[in-house]
Every structure is written in structure tokens, then in C-alpha cells.
Structure 1
Amino acid sequence: MTQTVTIRPATLDDLEGIRVIYNHAVVHTTAIWNDMQVDLENRRQWFEARMARNFPVLVAVAEGEGQVVGYAAYGDWRPFDGFRHSVENSVYVAPQAQGRGVGEALLRALVACARERGVHRMIAAIASENAISIALHAKVGFRTAGVFSEAGTKFGRWLDLTFMELLVGGGQPT
């Protein structure tokens, strides 16, 4: 079943909803390889850093409810000049909205933003056990570029990391 959502640029008023979704992923999933939950000030700094670099932060808002049920963003893939045409994406959906097309809508909108902004390649780093995220990215056109074994830990165990990539097509090598 598809949930009806509006995808739009995030505002400061959306940061509490983003924080709640982020913290849920920290506590309950291997989607974020951090152990500590964040406060609203952390999300404000994260948001302002994205805005300063002209990186989009998008939210999915449930129609009729006005509640943030997902968000997507991208940022630097690696902080070196030679990688300036590549970005790394993040897509997170609230538990109650998962499996309803929200993640796909967010990812497609994020790719469209990247194309408009001249991004050449979008990269996703996904816990290899996260078959749903891997399938989502494949559905949008990403291909698996490689897997790093035991690249990190969460919940006291080693995790493999799958890298996926999408040629967005923008940008010229400069």
C-alpha cells in the first residue's frame, strides 16, 4: 500500500521529526553506525552544514497529518577536491511509513535534485544485511560497486558494508 506524502525541502520546523526518525534508526537498526542519539541542536548544525554547501535535505510529509515520515539528504562522499562531483546519499523512513513507497519517492526526488545541481555520481553505503535498502536503491537504478567485509560494528557485531552507485550524469571534470 502506498502512503500519500508530499516531498519538499526541509525547514528548521522539520528538524524534530528528522531527529526522531534518526534516533529510531540509531537505537533499532544498522542503518546508522552511530551508537549515540542526537539532540535538536545536533540536527540543526547538521541541517545548516548541508544548507551552507547547497546540499538538499528533503522531507516526506504525510498528507492530512503534516507529520514528517521520512527524510533524505546527500553530502560530500569524500572531503577531497577530486571527489567534488560525487555525493553520498541517506534515506530514512519512520517505522509506521515503511513499505509504503515513501523511501522510493524520497530517493527519486533526491536523485532529481542531484541531477539539477550537476552531480555526476551518487553513492550509497548500506549495511549489507539491509536487503530492503539495497533493493530500493537497485529499483531506482543504483548498481552494487563493491562490498567491504567487517567494515564496522554495531550492536556488538561486525557488519559488512555494500557500496552502490548511480551515474547521475551531471557535471564535467574540472
Structure 2
Amino acid sequence: MMTWIECGPEHLEAIRAIFNDAIAHTTALYEDEPRSSEFMETWWRLKQQGQFPVIGALDEGGTLMGFATYGPFRPHPGYRFTLEHSIYVDARFRGRGLGRRFLERLIESAQAQGYRTLIGVIDAENRASIRLHERLGFSLCATLHQVGFKFGRWLDVVMYERVLS
């Protein structure tokens, strides 16, 4: 049993824990330092100001299994209809199809808000995320070589786009 929610401030610590696990153990985020509570408060305020959803999924015990959100692709006015999205699933709940369900919800939300394009910026070695995006109609639009450095090695980024109908 799972419940979909719009995350609130009461979920920030759980969101921060998911972010910090991804920072420490994956290349989903090209960050080295854990995110602080202060960072998360600013992150939350910007989501609220921009009217960007933070969609969550709770298990039957009320544990946040993951979350998904989007925000501006770039800050310039000409990009105002383009979003960059992100999906993070708690390591304990991966492999259950949550990523797909989150991405489907993000697509629906972005369409309902009148946005035109969603962009996914993905570590080039993250085959699962790449397959997910391709299955939901995203196409490769860019490869950026050796733009990230983490865990002692250079990392490539791929960008996937979907024009919304």
C-alpha cells in the first residue's frame, strides 16, 4: 500500500536524508557535502515561490519512500516554459517501479501547469534512469563529456528532453 502526497515542510528532514544518501553513495548528484537543514529550508521556499510541486510517496507506515519535483531549467525569461526535473527514491525502496510512477506524475503536473518541455539531466552511467526516460517518451538531446568529478573520476552527463503535448 502506498499513498501519494504533496510534501510539506514536515517532510523536509526525510527529503534531506534521501538527498544526503544520494550525495554520499551515488552519482545522481554531483555534490560532495551533505545538505544542511538551512539549505533545505531555502530549497523548500524556492519550490513554494515557484509553485513547483514536491510529490511524495508514503509507505503504509508513513515512511517517505521517495520524492519528485521540478524547477526552472535556466533563469532567463526565454526558458520560462522549460523545466528540469528530479526524482529520488530512498535506497530501501528502489526497484519497485516508483521512478516511473513519479515521472508520470511529474509529466501530468507540468502539462497541467502549462509547461512545454521537461529536461532530465542524468549521469551517463545511470542506465536505469536513461531507460526510464526513453520508455516515457524522452529523447537524448545532449551528451556533456567529463563535466563532473566525483569519487575520484570524471563523469559524463546526458540530457533527455520531452516536449509536452
Measured against the shorter chain, the TM-score band is over 0.9
Q: Which residue of 1 aligns with 2:18?
A: 21
Query: Once the 2 structures are TM-superposed, how far is the Cα of residue 39 of structure 1 from its aligned partner?
Result: 2.1
Distance 2:41 2:58 in 1: 19
Please state if 1:150 is matched with 2:113.
no
1:130 maps to which of 123, 126, 130: 126
Q: What count of residue pairs does the alignment treat as equivalent?
A: 165
What letter corresponds to residue 156 of structure 1 in structure 2?
G
In the TM superposition, residue 76 of structure 1 has moved relative to its aligned partner by 0.6
Structure 1 window deviating more from structure 2 (80-89 vs 145-154): it is 145-154
Alpha-carbon distance between aligned partners in 2 of 1:119 and 1:78, rounded to the nearest angstrom: 14
Q: Provide the residue aligned with 2:66 in structure 1.
A: 70
Question: Which runs of no fewer than 5 residues in structure 1 stay unpaired?
Answer: 170-174
Deviation beyond 3 Å, 4+ runs, structure 1: none
SS at match of 1:42: helix
RMSD between aligned alpha carbons?
1.0
Query: What CA distance in whole angstroms lies between the structure 2 residues aligned with 1:151 and 1:144?
Result: 17
Q: Determine which of 114, 119, 124 is the counterpart of 2:115.
A: 119
Residue type of the alignment partner of 2:138 = F
Identical positions, percent: 36
Per the normalisation by structure 2, the TM-score is 0.96
Which residue matches 1:44?
41
5+ residue gaps, structure 2:
none
**How far apart, in 2, do the equivalents of 1:18 and 1:66 lie?**
13
Q: Distance in 1 between matches of 2:41 and 2:63?
A: 18
Q: 1 or 2 for the larger relative contact order (CA 8 Å, sep ≥6)?
A: 1
> Which TM-score applies when normalising by structure 1?
0.92
In structure 2, the partner of 1:53 is 50
Q: Which amino acid aligns with 1:168?
A: L
Distance 2:155 2:142 in 1: 14
